[in-house]
Amino acid sequence: MTRPKTVTFGEVVLRLTPPGYERFMQSPTLNAHFGGAEANVAVSLAHFGLNSHFVSRVPRNPIGDAALRALRAEGVDVRSVQRGGERLGIYFTETGASQRPSLVVYDRAHSGFSELEPERIPWSDVLRGARWFHTTGIVPALGKGVAECTREALVAARATGARVSFDVNYRRKLWSEGEARRVLRPLLEHVHLLIANEAHLTDLLGAAPATAEETTTQGRLETLRMAAERVASEHGIEQVAITLRESRTANTNAWSALLYDSASKTLYRGPRHVVHLVERIGGGDAFAAGLIFGLLDGRSPEAALHFAIAAGALKLTVVGDFNRVSVEEVERLVSGDEGSRMLR
């Protein structure tokens, strides 16, 4: 049986983190992982058994080589990754604890990927046979050139008949809300599935309804349904996923999501998992990959949503950026097995 081909576009980065809960420079040692939102999605899709292709640009040096080896080791096809530039993007993370939040410091300026120029990627060749294309709002935040590359990719993906998903993934340390709003909104007309959190949807994309009643859970859900319906109608988007993450402390999160379907005008509400975090990073990327997999697998919108939420929750229990879990493990959580038993 032929595995569905997916294509993900974005930057693979090097992540450096002090051991355990130590603060920056408290330890002379930093643990190294490769990651990045779009690379994380590509890895998850590979672990779910799809023919996952990743498109990027890395420098022609030992660090770039190591990044590609890391992706290949996870089953990702990196033949469309270009080589060039002086450096790989880096980000530093400090793991939070209890009431002290986690911290991220970016060092991504002038990375090989951020200096990628338009018309350098042969999108018609890269996307040949692809069933799905995915990218995020982090990519256009890195510069005008990669923003235009993003537009080229979205247009080409639609032209080839691939389904297109876009995760807003707004990072205030990379660009302002005004810049993001100006660049992202025109891109949405090329998107089938939009993924956003509550703030992205209502504030960044300007979809907050005029009559928001949020004093009750039902009122909040109706507010989000109206916001999703509005952004979907304005941009011709078929489905809007809204991640709901409640950070009780730096170590404990409640994790859930909603999915609005334009055709049926239905808002699906998924289950809520309380997660004691091993890892703060990558849950949203795993959610996106789970939703892509579920929809490609022919599941109903509601079933795909349940799978995606479970995938995101499990990622928060896996150290590093990559979500190294299988379809079977996600299905166990979907079925209600919260991991209280040892698997023998």
Mind telling me the catalytic residues?
285
Specify the 3-state DSSP secondary structure of 31.
strand
Strand order in the sheet with 103-107: 31-35, 13-17, 90-94, 103-107
> How many helices (H) and strands (E) in the chain?
11, 15
CB 85 within 8 A of CB 59: yes
C-alpha atoms less than 13 angstroms from C-alpha of 207 in its C-beta half-sphere: 27
CB 90 within 8 A of CB 274: no
Count other Cβ atoms within 10 Å, centred on residue 340: 5
- Give the CA angle between residues 104, 105, 110 to the nearest 5°: 135
Q: Which amino acid, residue 194?
A: L
Place of tokens 């590979």: 46
Please, what's the b/e burial string for 309-327 (b: 16 or more CB within 10 A of its CB; e: otherwise)?
bbbbbbbbebebbbbebeb
